[in-house]
A and B are shown apart, each in its own frame.
Chain A
Amino acid sequence: MPAPDPIEHLIGLLARLPGYGRRSARRAVLKMLMRPEEAMLPLAAALRDAAAAVRPCRLCRNLDDQDPCHICRDPQRDRSVICVVEGVAELWALERAHAHRGLYHVLGGTLSALGGVGPEDLAVQPLLARIAEQGVEEVILALPATVEGATTAHFLSDRLQPSGVRVTRLAQGVPIGGALDVLDEGTLAAALKARRAV
């Protein structure tokens, strides 16, 4: 007997989310249907609230229920340093690590000629505008160590050059505890070029 429609609809919606396949979606739905009052109605309310309240921050494009977001409003944050990240997931990861005391800028992707993502698809102009308006002294490019991430970092350093702002990137390559002599040349070269004064 085919499953009734509302269930299949719900499974179909869940299965489209990252980390869910049809099988795991079906398992989650079945679990929730055992106790709909406790597991489903609060979820439905939370979904509605989040959808209504959460917006991208007009300054950094973080997702928050306040605009500007709680990071941009925080008076303790160092406004002279902006950390550029690919997406909100990376912003949240850096926040969890408590590694950065400045502000952020979410780019919304990385340059990909094959994927059809160009400079106009990324929040590059808003970044340049923030730097011009806010007295930013340093921009940290915290982009992924992929070809696309490195290309985007290179592209941004070029665009940022006229502003005179200091541009740095995450040192990459040398893992903690990694002995230099077992690293491959590419990694070693990247680490060498990312060297900093001590």
Chain B
Amino acid sequence: MLRLTRLMLRDFRNWPALTVPFRAQLAVITGENGAGKTNLLEAISLLGPGRGLRGARAAELGRRAGEAPLPWAAAGRFEGPWGGFDLGSGTPEGGPPERRSFRLDGAPLRTQAELAERVAAVWLTPQMDRLFQDGAGDRRRFLDRLVWALEPHHAREVAAYENAMAQRNRLLLQARREGRAADPAWLAGLEDAMARHGVALSAARRGLIARLNAALAGGVTGGFPAARLALSCPVAAALDGSPALAVEDGLRADWAASRARDAAAGATLSGPHRADLLMTHAPKEIPAALCSTGEQKALLVAVVLAHAALIAAARGFAPLLLLDEVAAHLDAERREALFAALAALPAQAFLTGTDAAVFRPLRGLAEGFLARGGELVPDGDLPVPEGR
């Protein structure tokens, strides 16, 4: 199991300095709004690859003292399937505040993929309550984060695809402005890269959805309604019936034929970057977008729990689960089911909330903390569980 056993922060958001050991599999952090609970989860999310649970830029993360944000650092000590390691992230020494650097056991890490090999985190936040109402982009990013936890290479494929597409868009736009045709061989080279990376990333998304659906149908989610996931994406659909290399050829032909259309639009109008994640409330057979807010939350919890179990079985460690204000939105019965599921999962989970009473049933299972005034103190009502 992957366990964060200690977190150290310096000038991160509202936290000037903090060192906190986590001794139990479940950690509960309560405090008033603005006490910095979500900031703690964000710091943990930043020990993995990506931009963390707020999608923030590195320059926004430093504590503000006067005008400019201070250089920040977040460091975690982990126990993993391969023993212990220290991971740190923060403003590079003497470097620009808009960059963030990583250190593994004190040595610099060159790529985020090296980080993804060791740490994965998945989160649910109140912002995600609008996941089913807002545009496809947020759902796609949620899906890609789930895929990333299964396949550390996925982020690289997505980045390469987006890079090639941005270059294609630029070439088409420049040529259109100058009233000429863009170099067809150059465009074909970029479309070739888009096809290769686009098919690889679509295959990974499709593979994760198939495995996740199998896990959800197998009833791993206890008291939560099973969700059924589907990918709305012609590329993924083509992979159902054709070998990957044939789908690549189809994409190359499609993009080559769409250059005039895309030049006029100023964007590539077809491809896996337009994919959407569809979710159905399986027992009721209704789309998640038509479910109540409470049921949508329950569906997301089901997905995250099934995903954690799947990743644990596939990779030997489950992602850290960061559940911001999740428990408060569930009714008492669902809350009990959540706590039971978390206790049974081989995953470390961090829960936040304003109402400490909600978490009382976790006595004996979770270690509690109170966030107040830039400090994190033990919650006497949730002492470190014995035998942990």
* Contact indicator B200/A119 (Cβ below 8 Å): no
* Contact indicator B185/A158 (Cβ below 8 Å): yes
Q: Does B188 contact A (CB under 8 A)?
A: yes
* Contact indicator A185/B204 (Cβ below 8 Å): yes
Residues of B close to A73: CB separation below 8 A = none
Of B10-18, B162-170, B270-278, B350-358, the one touching chain A? B162-170
* Contact indicator A151/B196 (Cβ below 8 Å): no
B381 to chain A, nearest CB (A): 47
B188 is contacted by which of A21, A158, A187 (Cβ under 8 Å)?
A158
Residues of B close to A147: CB separation below 8 A = 160, 163-164, 167, 190, 193, 197
B236 to chain A, nearest CB (A): 13
Give the interface centre of A23, A119, A185 by most chain B CB atoms within 10 Å.
A185
Rounded to whole angstroms, the CA-CA distance of A146 and B244 in the bound complex is 20
Given contacts A112-B167, A155-B186, A159-B185, contact A184 B153 (CB under 8 A): yes
Rounded to whole angstroms, the CA-CA distance of A189 and B94 in the bound complex is 41
Q: Does B264 contact A (CB under 8 A)?
A: no
Q: Does A45 contact B (CB under 8 A)?
A: no
Rounded to whole angstroms, the CA-CA distance of A29 and B188 in the bound complex is 49
- The A-contacting residues of B in range 139-176, CB under 8 angstroms, are 151, 153, 157, 160, 163-164, 166-168, 170-171, 174
* Contact indicator A186/B197 (Cβ below 8 Å): yes
Residues of B close to A118: CB separation below 8 A = 183, 186
* Contact indicator A151/B186 (Cβ below 8 Å): yes
Q: Does B192 contact A (CB under 8 A)?
A: yes
* Contact indicator B189/A153 (Cβ below 8 Å): yes
Residues of B close to A23: CB separation below 8 A = 94
Residues of A close to B170: CB separation below 8 A = 113-114
* Contact indicator B157/A186 (Cβ below 8 Å): yes
* Contact indicator B151/A184 (Cβ below 8 Å): yes
Q: Does B245 contact A (CB under 8 A)?
A: yes
Interface residues on A, range: 20 to 34
* Contact indicator A151/B193 (Cβ below 8 Å): yes
Residues of B close to A152: CB separation below 8 A = 189
Given contacts A155-B185, A186-B153, contact A150 B171 (CB under 8 A): no
A25 to chain B, nearest CB (A): 13
Q: Does A111 contact B (CB under 8 A)?
A: yes
Rounded to whole angstroms, the CA-CA distance of A63 and B174 in the bound complex is 34
A114 is contacted by which of B166, B185, B188, B189 (Cβ under 8 Å)?
B166
A158 to chain B, nearest CB (A): 4
Residues of B close to A146: CB separation below 8 A = 160
Q: Does A190 contact B (CB under 8 A)?
A: yes
* Contact indicator A190/B196 (Cβ below 8 Å): yes
Give the interface centre of A23, A154, A187, A190 by most chain B CB atoms within 10 Å.
A154
- The B-contacting residues of A in range 143-176, CB under 8 angstroms, are 146-147, 150-155, 158-159
Given contacts A119-B186, A151-B189, contact A113 B197 (CB under 8 A): no
B246 to chain A, nearest CB (A): 12
Residues of A close to B188: CB separation below 8 A = 154-155, 158
Q: Would you give 7 A-B contacts (Cβ < 8 Å), ordered by A?
A: A21-B94, A112-B167, A118-B186, A119-B186, A150-B192, A154-B193, A185-B200
Partner-A contacts on B (CB < 8 A): 94, 151, 153, 157, 160, 163-164, 166-168, 170-171, 174, 183, 185-186, 188-190, 192-193, 196-197, 199-200, 203-204, 244-245, 248
Partner-B contacts on A (CB < 8 A): 21, 23, 111-114, 118-119, 146-147, 150-155, 158-159, 184-187, 189-190, 192-193
